[in-house]
Structure 1
Amino acid sequence: MRGSAPRGEPRRAAITEAALELFVERGFRAVTVDDVARAAGASKATIARFYGGRQGLLTAALELEMDLVFAPVEGARDLPAFAEALHAVVFSPRCLQLLRFVVGETPSTPELGETFRGVVLPRIARAAAPLVARARGTEVDDASTPVAVDELLGDLLGTALLEAMTGGDPAPERLARLRRRALASG
């Protein structure tokens, strides 16, 4: 294959993109494998082979969304750049739409919340951990690093995220103030 993507990868990517759009647009419970197959021009057998079922499809869709929007956060070289990139991603209309979707669907579809907690939250923590450890002069595997990451994320997002989730628009100066305070306390 000389450096090309493995056979089937473009097909899998198209199915994952179709599933992501349908899940966000309609909600996880409202979307069937048949809906995704129709939207992607794929068969149910192909979806079953690639994903195993709806849960695998959801996991792939969330991972795709993270790949699409999270590169600036994962590419941050220091905590100030991480904080700024995290705010840009989390407070973007697309991310807020996805968060609202997850929060709204999780009570009736607990596996959605489990998938979100298993895909999205660890990825954010993995991006922050080396930067936090470096800033604190510790190692990533130091027992205090996860606590420091949790505190940083809480300070960065705080009530501004709740405000945004409920339709408010946190002012850029408020977000800048949150970043300054979070970085000063880290």
Structure 2
Amino acid sequence: MPRTTLNDLSAEAAAPKRSRRKEARPGELLEAALDLFVEKGFAATRVDEVAARAGVSKGTLFLYFPSKEELFKAVVRENIAGRFAEWNTELESFVGTTSDVLRYCYQVWWERIGATKASGITKLMFSEAQNFPEIAQFYQQEVILPGRALVRRILQRGVERGEFQAIDLDYGTYIVLAPMMFLMLWNNSMGPCSLPDENFSPEEYLRTQVDNMLHGLCIRPGPAATPPPVACCPPPSTSS
């Protein structure tokens, strides 16, 4: 039986480390790319900067992502688009009123997207989509359309259960999405530059928005019976 040497053991110990490092590289590249895309925008971000921040060579980056466009698409899928399957499953299994669904929707969105660096991708798309039509079309297909479809399902649920008024569901989706869009743009533009005494809470803002929204969506009880009018002055007395 061959004898195991210290060199053999060292090689065995080193192999898993190299393997883990190779597997970790795509994740490290996506994290570095997200940081730079949000900080600098799509046009100004260079792939060699992404590789340097991830601690690999530009050649290594191109082994995983053949272009900056494909790198950006992978960032969007990793941080936003890849979540829609999970969210649709949660909606299907949700037990509770549709008002509860909306409140949960905002809470989960804020925790998983709005309060993270991924929210900066929306600001990037608003500012650069017109200059990069291929990226804009990708974002439309992978993020905007699935997002609107999910919100539409929520509103349809409320209408079918008799909880919400029958509204134009296509335009109703924008009512739900507007507060999210505002927060993503605010947090990645004016928010960090706010005055020190401005106490703006994103969580409180979302609670206020959903309260106002539900007051407009929920079916109201019918009007109470109108009491008979009361005479403003007693009728004149009759004398015999």
Which letter maps to 1:116?
Y
Residue among 137, 144, 169 paired with 1:121: 144
1:51 aligns with one of 52, 65, 73: 65
Task: Determine the structure 1 residue equivalent to 2:173.
Answer: 153
| Structure 2 match to 1:92 | 114
Structure number with larger C-alpha Rg: 2
> Which of 51, 64, 86 is the aligned partner of 1:37?
51
Any stretches of 5+ residues in structure 1 without a counterpart?
138-146
Deviations 1:50-85 (A, max 9, x none): 222111100111112217877884433274454224
State the distance in 2 between where 1:67 and 1:6 align. 26
- 12-21 vs 60-69, which moves further: 60-69
Structure whose residues are more often helix by fraction: 1
Give distance in 2, aligned partners of 1:19 and 1:27. Answer: 10
Match of 1:103 among 123, 126, 142: 126
Rounded to whole Å, the distance in 1 between the matches of 2:153 and 2:145 is 13
Distance 1:122 1:70 in 2: 11
Contact kept? 2:36, 2:50, Cα under 8 Å: yes
> In the TM superposition, what are the counterparts of 1:1-186 in structure 2 within 5 Å?
8-66=22-80, 73-74=87-88, 75-76=90-91, 77=94, 79-88=98-107, 89=109, 92-94=114-116, 96-125=119-148, 127-128=150-151, 131=154, 148=169, 150-158=170-178, 160=179, 163-164=182-183, 165=185, 167=190, 171=205, 172-182=207-217
Which whole-Å CA distance do the structure 1 matches of 2:102 and 2:48 have between them? Answer: 40
Deviation of 1:162 (Å): 6.1
Calculate the aligned-residue CA RMSD, in Å.
3.8
The 1:132–1:33 alpha-carbon spacing in structure 2 relative to 1, beyond 3 Å, is same
Cα distance between partner residues in 1 of 2:20 and 2:146: 25
Report the alpha carbon displacement of residue 38 of structure 1 after superposing the two structures with TM.
0.7
- The total of aligned residue pairs comes to 170
Partners of 2:79 and 2:36 in 1: how far apart?
13
Whether the 8 Å CA contact 1:106–1:112 is kept in 2: the answer is yes
1:7 Cα deviation (Å)? 9.1
Q: Deviations over 1:138-176 (max 9, x none)?
A: xxxxxxxxx84x344223134x45654355868332332
TM-score calculated relative to the size of structure 1: 0.67
Equivalent-residue separation in structure 1 for 2:27 and 2:147 (angstroms): 23
Distance 1:183 1:60 in 2: 39
Structure 2 portions without partners, runs of 5+: 1-18, 161-167, 192-199, 220-240
Identity %: 21
Letter in 1 for 2:138: T
1:38 match: secondary structure:
helix
- TM-score, normalising length from structure 2? 0.55
Helix, strand or coil for the counterpart of 2:130?
Answer: coil
Q: Is the 8 A contact 2:32 2:53 kept in 1?
A: yes
